[in-house]
Structure 1
């Protein structure tokens, strides 16, 4: 499951060209992404959400914070968002559920620390 979390974070850090490929490879057709600021369905909507975040936080990167806890077809993990090589400005917690083909089907996200 560490690999799927890595691919998940790679997706959030991807440029537009790589983003479409990562979504097609690692996310199911009918994927769902829900967090306090978004509730989207399908790869196109996930791509638009990721692009909006990348636009809002230019130069920031998503990184893993701590260990991945996984069982069955799901994993939970904490991530950070901030300038590369610096302390994350934003920290969140996501639960990822995979489909039978080991692709991301459902993500439920929470924000643990956000700037004022």
Structure 2
């Protein structure tokens, strides 16, 4: 499957938002390398099981109407990309949270993902 960095980042957003466990796991495996890692100010996990547990925890901490979405375009070059996101209800006038991430790719999948949260 040939994809662009923007396609991979959208699949990441889809994986984080996915509440059905088997579908979420499939998206994670399509998006990350087997040793893929995610780091933010609160979490630092590596591997499919840890990523799945983290995304599952995020889903169980919030009501289903709260979702992540991309803000603007994915900016990519070489083996990396940066993007901004928002979190909140789709119909809300303002997001509950925003941030920016940097993804490092290996063979078309995310090898490392570094997430940064904007301060409220």
TM-score in same-fold range (> 0.5): yes
In 2: Cα distance, 1:11 partner to 1:85 partner: 21
Is 1:67 aligned with 2:66? no
Q: Number of aligned pairs?
A: 113
- CA RMSD across the alignment: 1.2
Gaps of 5+ in 2: none
Between 1:44-53 and 1:78-87, the stretch displaced more is 78-87
Is 1:51 aligned with 2:53? no
1:42 maps to what in 2?
A: 47
Which of 71, 85, 92 matches 1:79?
85
| Superposed displacement of residue 75, structure 1 | 0.6
Is 1:99 aligned with 2:96? no
Runs of 4+ in structure 1 displaced over 4 angstroms?
Answer: none
In 2: Cα distance, 1:90 partner to 1:24 partner: 26
In 2: Cα distance, 1:24 partner to 1:57 partner: 24
TM-score (norm 2): 0.88
Matched residue SS, 2:63: coil
